[in-house]
Each structure stands twice: as C-alpha cells, then as structure tokens.
Amino acid sequence: MGYNWAMTRLRVLLGLLTLLVVGILGLLLSLYARGYRFDGQTLRFKPSGLLVVKSDPSGAQVFVNGELSTATDTTISLAPGTYDVSIRKESFHIWNKRLVIEKEVVTEAIASLFRVAPSLSSVTFSGAVSPVLSPDGTRILYATPPSKEDLEKGGLWLIETVNLPLGFARDPRRVADGDLTAADWQFSPDGREILVSLGQSVFLLDSSTFTPQARRVNVAARKDIILAEWEEERGTRLSSQIKILPDELVDILERKASSIVFSPDETKILYTASGSATIRENLIKSLPGSSSQKEERDIKNGRTYVYDIKEDRNFLIDEGAESLLIDSKVVPEATRRLSWFPTSKHLVLSETGKITIIDYDGTNRQLVYSGSYVSPHAYPFGSTSRLLILTNLGADTTPNLYSLTLK
C-alpha cells in the first residue's frame, strides 16, 4: 500500500511539473509573439516591436539605421523607437522610410522596387492617337490612322491590360473602322459603351464588338442626354462608395473635393481639395501598427491628398491641382496625371519628360522613366511589373504605345 501511495504522489508531482513546464513555455511563447526579448545583461524580458520586411522583387538587403541587418521577407525584433529603414537591391531604386516601432506592435515595411534603367518594347506599330483608359483601368482605347497599303489598320482599337503576366500576349482588337484620328471618344461609366464624336456626327459603340461604318447610327440628337445619364451613373456609384464612411468625412468630400478616386481595393481615397477643411482626429478607429508617416489633416484648396480609410491617415501628395488630372476624364490641356497603381499602395505621376511612382503616403518618389513621351499618357496595368506609355522616341512620326518594364 505504501508503494502505491508513493507512485500516486509521483504521478501527481509529474503532472504538476508538466503543467508548470507547459505553462512556462506558453508564457515564453506568448511573450515572444508579443515582441518581448530576453536581455542577458539585465536578466529580464524587455518589450520590443516586430518589423515585418517584404520586397518585390524579393531578396533585397535591409538596412536599419545605416547598418545591414538582414534580407527581405523576414521579421526583425527592435526595441521601441524611431528607425531609418532602407531596402536595397542592385539595379533597383532604393526604398527609404522612417518608421516608428512600438512595443508589442507589428509594423510592416513593404517595398515595391523599380528598375533604375527600365526597358522599352513596342506594343503598337501603326500609331496610337489619343489613348483613353477605361474607368476600371483594364482597357485602353486609341485610334490608328488609315494606311494606303492596309486600309484594315485604320479605326479605333482596344488593348486589354489585365492578367498578362508574360506581357501583352493578346493582340489589340478593332472596334470601329475608318479615319477617326480627328474624333473624340469616351467610355461609359461601366466601360461597356464608347461615345465617339466626329464633327457633327456622334456614334455610340459597343466596346465588346466591332461596328463597321455601315452599321453606325448617328445619335447626335441624344448626345447631351447620354452624357447626363453617364454623369448621374458616376455620381450614384461614388455615393455608394462613400456612404460607408463617417458622415463628417462624407460631408467634407462632397463639399470640399472636386475629384474623388478610390483605390482599386477601395481602402484609400485620392482626392483634390476644392476648399479648406479639417479632418478630425480619430474619425475612424485606426489599426495597430498604422503608418507613422507625416500627415496633414488640415486640407487646403488646390492640393491633392490620399486618405487611408483603414488607418485614418491623410497624406499630402501634390500641390499643383491646376494642371493635374486624377480621374479618367479627357482634358486636352492637361499635362500631368496622377493615377492609382494596381497595388493600391502606390500612385503613378505622369508629367512632361518624366514618370514617377510614389508610395500612397507621399514618400519614396521613384523616377521610373525620364525621356521623350506624350505626357500624361502613362498607364499602369494588371501586371505591376510594367507601365504603358505613348512615345515616338523623339522621332518625327506618329507615336506608338510602348511597354515599360519596371521589374
């Protein structure tokens, strides 16, 4: 009986010891996951933050306060404080950002790196006149002048810009024939129709099919009605997008913004202020690890901003709204355009002689192209490794669309 009692006590002690070890290990793992690290000098666990570093392309070097730390696609434990983080890869622009690390908070540094010397390859060969991007950014419509050698080349053409990881594998397709180089055209809000104006004639085309001249119907008498309906449709769509926002922010956007464009994932808003206003602090409950970059909550007339809905942050992007387009409207005199990159984390700024890709918070302005092109005709597309630009490479010829390889 004494033996059985001793064995019972031993089993209880082993069970308690197991529970103690498991509890201690669980506590240590919990502390580690929250960013605590053991300090051998003080023999204590000290709070730290975690910096998750990723890059596209991967395999870049990570420098923290000027010292090489690791390679990208990793997590670094850092004591709370402010750090200068630099991500570098040979032949690519350097990515720099000053980040605030907080205890027990995960902060992300996600860098899209772009080539210092991108390559150009022709996408069209017979000329591309007045390209226009569809509202959803998936197609580009342009005119090609007729050729005496090949009359089939003239007309309006569409090129798709989505899901082409190997480049432009799909050939442009013609949606209308004839000489339309002197015409004006625009997409309907849903991109299904194209309104073409040529002199006194106005035609409504189906963007999904080819419509020859013999089948085109002049709808000039209905032009104003069609445009009014399209404008109402745009307004309805915008209202549905902003109605999820706090009433105070909706009021500012409706009364103090002249142009509003949501990012592709609808988590950010690009807008140009048409008046002065103040976006109240803590308008939306922000997430842990939110951006620590400088923001401006006092908006001013004529400046362009990005508001991050998830993080309740408002960033100044540009101060020259007079010459800047941020939507898909066609304005012949405009020489600068700001558009969303497919990542929803970057913007493309197209201006005379250069193209810059900017982080959505206004930092990391990477010059990806400098040279001759028809500004502001630079278009991002589904594959984030390329841009499409309109250029004749300095020659006295009709410009063509070229693919600009960024990665």
In a domain, 379, yes or no: no
Are 168 and 103 members of one domain? no
CA distance 114 to 341: 13
Tokens of residue 325, six digits: 């387009």
Tell me the whole-structure pTM to 2 decimals.
0.83
> Does residue 108 belong to any structural domain of this protein?
yes
Flag whether pLDDT at 3 surpasses 80: no
Q: What is the mean pLDDT of the chain?
A: 86
Asked if residue 406 belongs to a domain, the reply is no
Number of domains observed in the structure of the chain: 4
Say whether both 254 and 366 belong to one domain: yes
Q: What does the alpha-carbon distance between residue 142 and residue 355 come to, in Å, rounded to a whole number? A: 21
Share of the chain above pLDDT 90, in %: 63
Token output for 296: 């401006």
Tell me: pLDDT of 45 over 60: no
What ranges in 243-363 are assigned the alpha helix state H? Answer: 247-256
Q: How far apart are CA 143 and CA 340, in angstroms?
A: 24
Quick: pLDDT tens for 318-360.
987 777 888 766 666 677 899 999 889 999 999 999 999 999 9
265 CB-contact burial (10 Å; exposed 0-12 / middle 13-18 / buried 19+): exposed
Residue at 237 is within a domain: no
- Rounded to whole angstroms, the Cα distance separating 106 from 51 reads 6
Residue 24 backbone phi and psi in degrees, to 5 = -65, -45
Model confidence over 370-393: pLDDT tens digits?
Answer: 999 999 999 887 777 889 999 998
- Express each pLDDT in 290-322 by its tens digit: 788 889 999 999 999 999 999 999 999 998 777
pLDDT digits (tens, 9 = 90+) for 48-87: 888 999 999 999 999 999 999 999 999 998 889 999 999 9
Specify the CATH number for the domain of residue 166. 2.120.10.30
CA 149 → CA 144, 214, 266, 338, 397, distances in Å?
14, 22, 47, 39, 17
The reply to whether 84 and 164 lie within a common domain is no
Same domain (yes/no): 269, 313: yes
Helix (H) or strand (E) holding 4: helix 2-33
In a domain, 117, yes or no: no
Q: Give helix 223-242 / helix 247-256 axis angle, nearest 10°.
A: 150
Same domain, 257 and 348: yes
Domain boundary among 222, 257, 285: 222
**Where is average pLDDT lowest: 2-6, 13-17, 231-235?**
2-6
**DSSP string of 341-357, one letter each residue:** -TTSSEEEEEETTEEEE
Q: Is 134:187 a contact under the CB 8 Å cutoff?
A: yes
Q: Judge if 25 and 94 occupy the same domain.
A: no
Same domain, 78 and 175: no
Q: Is residue 376 part of a domain?
A: no
Indicate the pLDDT class of residue 28, thresholds 50, 70 and 90.
Answer: low
Checking if the pLDDT of 24 tops 70, the result is: no
Can you give the CATH number for the domain in which 60 is found?
2.60.40
Name the residue range of residue 286's domain.
244-370
**Co-location of 314 and 337 in the same domain:** yes
What pLDDT does residue 331 have?
65
Over 60: is that where the pLDDT of 44 sits? no
Q: Collapse the DSSP code of 248 into the 3-class scheme (helix H, G, I; strand E, B; otherwise coil) and give the result.
A: helix
Please report whether residue 230 resides in a domain. no
Give the model confidence (pLDDT) of 215-258 as tens digits.
999 999 999 999 999 999 999 999 999 988 999 999 999 999 98
Alpha-carbon distance of 406 to 369, in angstroms, equals 9
The distance in angstroms from the start CA to the end CA of the chain is 78
Q: 374 in helix, strand or coil?
A: coil
CA 282 to CA 96: how far, in whole Å? 27
If asked whether residues 152 and 50 sit together in one domain, one would say no
- Is 405 among the domain residues? no
Contact between residue 127 and residue 144 where contact means Cβ atoms under 8 Å apart: yes
CB 292 within 8 A of CB 85: no
235: left (phi over 0), alpha (psi -120 to 50) or beta: alpha
172 contacts 125 by C-beta, under 8 angstroms: no
